[in-house]
């Protein structure tokens, strides 16, 4: 990891550094696929900077400029900007397309961190979220999306 991670700012990822900075990271990594001409990308940029400081040492936030680095974007099937993909142990665990609120990102990070220790104990293809937003459950069978599993915080009601 770079020194940027230690001070709580997003790291810049390239196609050449993607495997080392993202897939081999011991921490969960959120990668923002963005472009300078994308208005929603400019809106969530400051939000991600704040979250990088809040979650420093627990989640790494990375940015990949799709105008300059297209190979990773194509390999992962990114079609809209901004797209945020969370990787844990080299696997995609969450995909968000479009701008969201800071609170939404905080909820997703908290869910990710809540279940981060439980994920390696089960095969990654069996984890999925409850359709009603309940706790993470194990289920056999194929998913209709390209995301192997999703993380969902448990209900408090």
- Cα gap 98→35, rounded to integer Å: 13
Please report, for residues 28, 100, 152, the alpha-carbon distance to residue 132 in angstroms, rounded to integers and kept in the order given: 25, 20, 10
Record the tokens describing residue 12, joined without a space. Answer: 């810049």
> Which residue among 31, 38, 44, 52 is the active-site one?
38
Is 38 part of the annotated catalytic residue set? yes
| DSSP, res 10 | P
> Which residue among 22, 41, 48, 85 is the active-site one?
41
Q: 35, 13, 8, 9: which is closest to 23 by C-alpha?
A: 13
Report how far Cα 44 is from the mean position of its chain's Cα atoms. Answer: 14
Backbone angles phi, psi at 122, to 5 degrees: -125, 155
Q: Annotated catalytic sites, by residue?
A: 38, 41
């Amino acid at each position: 990891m770079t020194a940027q991670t230690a001070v709580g700012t997003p790291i810049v990822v390239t196609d050449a550094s993607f495997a080392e900075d993202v897939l081999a990271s011991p921490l969960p990594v959120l990668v923002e696929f963005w472009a300078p001409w994308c208005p929603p990308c400019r809106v969530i940029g400051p939000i991600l900077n704040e979250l990088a400081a809040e979650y420093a040492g627990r989640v790494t936030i990375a940015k990949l400029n799709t105008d300059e680095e297209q190979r990773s974007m194509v390999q992962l099937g990114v079609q809209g900007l901004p797209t945020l993909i969370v990787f844990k142990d080299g696997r995609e665990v969450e995909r968000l397309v479009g701008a969201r609120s800071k609170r939404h990102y905080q909820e997703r990070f908290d869910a990710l961190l809540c279940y981060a220790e439980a994920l390696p104990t089960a095969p990654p293809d069996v984890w999925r979220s409850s359709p009603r937003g309940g706790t993470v459950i194990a289920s056999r069978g194929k998913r209709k999306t390209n995301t192997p599993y999703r993380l969902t915080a448990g209900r408090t009601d």
